Amino acid sequence: MKDFITAKQEFDKLVEESLKKYKPKVPVVFTKLSEVTKAITSNMIIWSRKNSLWPLQFGLACCAMELLDFGASRIDAERKGFLVFRATPRQSDVMISAGWITKSMAPEVKRLYEQMSRPRYVVAYGECSVSGGPWYESYNIIEGIDQIVPVDVYVSGCPPRPESLFDALLKLQEKVGGKIDN
Amino acid sequence: MSLVKINIGPVHPSTHGLLRLVVTLDGDTIVNVEPHVGFLHRGVEKLAENRMYMQIPPFIEKCDYVAKMAMDEAYVATVEAAMGIEPNERAQYERVILLELQRIASHLLWLGAMLNDLGHFFSVFMWTFADRDKVLKLLEEATGQRMFYVNMRLGGLRQEFPKDFEYHALDVLTYLEKRINEYESFIENSSLFKERMYKVGVLSRDDAINLGVSGPVLRASGVNFDVRKDKPYYVYKKLNFKPIVLYNGDNFSRYKVRILEIKESIRLIREAFKQMPDGNATGMPIKLINPAPKNKVVRVSREGPRGEIMFYLVADEQRPYRLAMRTPAFINLAALNHIARGNKFANLFPIIGSLDLVMADVDK
Amino acid sequence: MVRLIIDRKDLIDTISSFKKKGFSYLVKILGIDYIDYISVLYILRNLDSDEEIEIEVHLNQNDLWVPTIINIFKGADWYERELYEMFGIEIKGRKVRKLLLEKFSENIYPLRKSFKWGTK
């Protein structure tokens, strides 16, 4: 019962705030209905989209062990909204790419990215996705995932601790909400 | 009757890695399984020819990223055999303790991942991961790193055990014994588990020797071979080690061998803590090494949690001329075609789960 | 470590006679590139008495082929495929396909000494 009460209070606060911006100086209200609903719903849409980003299960190599730790019970991913790791790209928002990319795997990554529905975001997790990692002289490695898909947040480390993945996803939430420029 | 070909693509919801299977079906029974591998191949054997001896362990550890200490120790033992160095007795006891702790952590992750394949969607996975976190905290206390502990040096370890390490370790071991008994009792009582594991995926004794598999897959088919007993290294003789052999060769035997190995490892660690002498266990630091190999061609095999790890080294002055690796998951996956023929299609993933694969091991 | 160096024409007879004596477990098939010749090693193990033996064959750079031993050991399948794609050694007696670099149809053989690092 507690959750129900606080969500309703938040909804009331949002309605009041959005109505305040459109108060004219004359004590008579002349607005279009579409502008009122747009003001209410755009804030609602951004708030709900920000707090429920569902990741795609894309752990390729050793950084996948830290992704499993990120979803397990000590460092909980559920408390901030990353509820389920979906297996199909049509139902997910964020692609967390963990592991190195070889030449055989590159067309599959591109195909998976194009199957995700908009708005979609990409997080590059670990040194091998950022810049190729320790395999820089190898004949079968692509250096960094940003040669194939556009990336929003980079996390460096080998492997980075799961707490730093949490920090990166909080920054992604700010970017979705519109506070950080670009 | 017409046959149907199905593609199970490289990205699929089980935690083994990138593996593509082309399955030929006749109704509901499997006729042929063909694995296509190579999605994680980066050429470790070629990269090792351009690096010096102690720059290579990070490459070797990323091969089997679940049991990292076992691969690291096998490589450092190869270089020690080439240079003619032997660790002293306290260093041998400490290495055995760290190796057996790593074996417990690897088998706990296997248990969660295999029950995930059977259909318990992430519930037993959460419990075994919480237990595995306690063992990883012990290893972090001993080595200072959470995941890639490059801890072995020539002649010993990088640093000694801290002061209270023994008390913390014995606390965790008593907790783990109770939990393993709980897991055994409730997993084996469920009738769904019995239907999908008894007499499913049978590998006979002659086939197992002819195909060249190793590790728990070989010992579950009735062959009494374990590298820790037949070619003993370090102090396993003093600790009275006995291998675990079962005789049926189906999924259930492969599961039971690993559960009994966890209990055997707990007993070995307790004995090692009682018998350990005093002394200094740190090895040579990296910069002071003068590489002058005494034996030019060396071959060393060790027992990892998945099977037998073998390194073959042709040594030059500063860097290896040729480093060849035999990883256990490579040849365990090649035996999948022989095991899975004649079974139902829904039983394919429990069979893969009981072989315990890590895909970066297969594509070196 | 005991090592035998034999000719290529005696290979199948030697391996099958060792298998009858009890060396029934194949550990690995290796290849090493010394610059004048390429040598191929077969490592066998006896499970009852724990002995191991290495059988070595030298090949010139002009004719690189080895007969297949898949009728003796079923586990030699993937080792021979890896030998073909890394060194360029042909296997006579069966059709071999590449294992790890399946999608590349050019003739690059990575583990030879003539393949320099840094080529992509």
Chain B residues near residue C99 by CB distance under 8 angstroms: 37-38
Could you give the angle at which helices A33-50 and A2-21 cross, rounded to 10 degrees?
140
Quote the CA–CA distance of C79 and C81 in Å, as a whole number: 5
Strands (E), B260-348: 297-303, 308-315, 320-326
Quote the CA–CA distance of B30 and B346 in Å, as a whole number: 10
Gap from C107 CA to chain B (nearest CA, Å) = 17
Residue B27: inside a domain, yes or no? no
Quote the CA–CA distance of B220 and B216 in Å, as a whole number: 6
H/E stretch holding B162 reads none
Burial per residue of B69-85, b for 16 or more beta-carbon CB atoms within 10 angstroms, e otherwise? bbbbbbbbbbbbbbbeb
Q: What angle do CA B194, B129, B310 make, to 5 degrees?
A: 85
Sheet holding C37-45, edge to edge: C2-6, C52-60, C37-45, C25-33
Is the domain spanning A55-177 CATH 3.30.750.24? The answer is no
Query: Which neighbouring-strand residues pair with C13?
Result: none
CB contact under 8 A, A137 and C103: no
Q: What is the average pLDDT score of chain A?
A: 84
Q: Does B58 touch chain A (CB under 8 A)?
A: yes
Per-residue confidence (pLDDT) for residue B284, from 0 to 100: 75
Quote the CA–CA distance of B347 and B30 in Å, as a whole number: 10
Per-residue pLDDT tens digits for A11-32: 888 888 887 777 656 666 667 7
Closest residue by Cα to residue B75 from B227, B297, B283, B302: B302
Reported as a pLDDT band with limits 50, 70 and 90, residue C118 is low
Q: Indicate the domain borders of chain A.
A: 2-50, 55-177
Chain C residues near residue A137 by CB distance under 8 angstroms: 117-118
Residue B23: inside a domain, yes or no? no
Chain C residues near residue A142 by CB distance under 8 angstroms: none
Which is more confidently placed, C106 or B143?
Answer: B143
Closest residue by Cα to residue B140 from B150, B131, B153, B149: B149
Per-residue confidence (pLDDT) for residue A26, from 0 to 100: 61
Residues found in chain B: 364
- A79-83, A133-137, A176-180, B99-103: range with highest mean pLDDT: B99-103
Q: Which of C25, C99, C102 sits opposite B212 (nearest CB)?
A: C25
In chain B, whose CA is at the least distance from the CA of A133? B59
Residue A47 reports pLDDT greater than 50: yes
Q: Which of A61, A73, A87 sits opposite B13 (nearest CB)?
A: A87
Quote the CA–CA distance of B244 and B80 in Å, as a whole number: 30
Q: Which of C102, C108, C117 sits opposite A137 (nearest CB)?
A: C117
Q: What is the number of other CB atoms lying within 10 angstroms of the CB of residue A175?
A: 15
Residue B31: inside a domain, yes or no? no
Q: Are residues B261 and B244 in contact, defined by beta-carbon separation less than 8 angstroms?
A: yes
> Any idea which residue has 């901030």 for tokens?
A80
Q: What DSSP designation does C75 have?
A: G
| H-only helix segments in chain C | 11-21, 77-87
Residue B20: inside a domain, yes or no? no
Q: Are residues A115 and A95 in contact, defined by beta-carbon separation less than 8 angstroms?
A: no
Name all contacts of B162-168 with Cβ < 8 Å and 24+ positions apart. B165/B138, B165/B141, B166/B273, B168/B138, B168/B141
Per-residue confidence (pLDDT) for residue B221, from 0 to 100: 92
Quote the CA–CA distance of A121 and A168 in Å, as a whole number: 12
Q: Are residues A176 and A168 in contact, defined by beta-carbon separation less than 8 angstroms?
A: no
pLDDT means per 10 residues in chain B (364 residues)? 87 81 91 91 89 88 90 92 88 92 93 86 84 91 88 87 91 94 90 88 92 92 91 88 91 93 94 89 69 86 93 89 92 92 90 90 84
Tokens of B248: 């049926």
Chain C residues interacting with chain B (CB cutoff of 8 angstroms): 1, 24-28, 30, 32-33, 43, 47, 50, 73-75, 77-78, 99-102, 110-111, 115, 117
Residue B185: inside a domain, yes or no? yes
Using CA atoms of B265, B267, B268, B269 in order, give the dihedral in degrees to the nearest 10: 90
What domains are defined for chain C? 2-92 (3.30.460.80)
Per-residue pLDDT tens digits for C53-100: 999 999 998 888 999 999 999 999 999 999 998 898 989 888 888 888
Strands A153-155 and B4-8: unpaired
Tokens of B84: 């003619």
Q: Are residues A50 and A176 in contact, defined by beta-carbon separation less than 8 angstroms?
A: yes
Tokens of B216: 């728990």
Q: What residues make up the domain containing B167?
A: 40-362
> Any idea which residue has 């199905």 for tokens?
B6
Reported as a pLDDT band with limits 50, 70 and 90, residue A182 is very low
Residue B83: inside a domain, yes or no? yes
A119, with CB counted inside 10 A (0-12, 13-18, 19+), is exposed
Q: Are residues B78 and B298 in contact, defined by beta-carbon separation less than 8 angstroms?
A: yes
Quote the CA–CA distance of B283 and B280 in Å, as a whole number: 9
Quote the CA–CA distance of A81 and A169 in Å, as a whole number: 10
Tell me the CA distances in angstroms from A33 to A15, A22, A29, A38, one per residue in order. Answer: 14, 12, 11, 9
CATH number at residue B348: 1.10.645.10
Chain A residues near residue C120 by CB distance under 8 angstroms: 139
Q: What is the mean pLDDT of residues A51-72?
A: 86
Q: Are residues A74 and B133 in contact, defined by beta-carbon separation less than 8 angstroms?
A: yes
Chain A residues near residue C117 by CB distance under 8 angstroms: 137
What sign does the CA torsion over B74, B40, A58, A98 have?
positive
| H-only helix segments in chain A | 2-21, 33-50, 63-71, 106-115, 127-131, 162-177
Q: What is the number of other CB atoms lying within 10 angstroms of the CB of residue A36?
A: 15
Q: Which of B38, B210, B310 sits opposite C101 (nearest CB)?
A: B38
Q: Does A140 touch chain C (CB under 8 A)?
A: yes
Quote the CA–CA distance of B228 and A169 in Å, as a whole number: 46
Q: What values do phi and psi take at B281, rounded to 5?
A: -115, 15
Per-residue confidence (pLDDT) for residue B327, from 0 to 100: 92
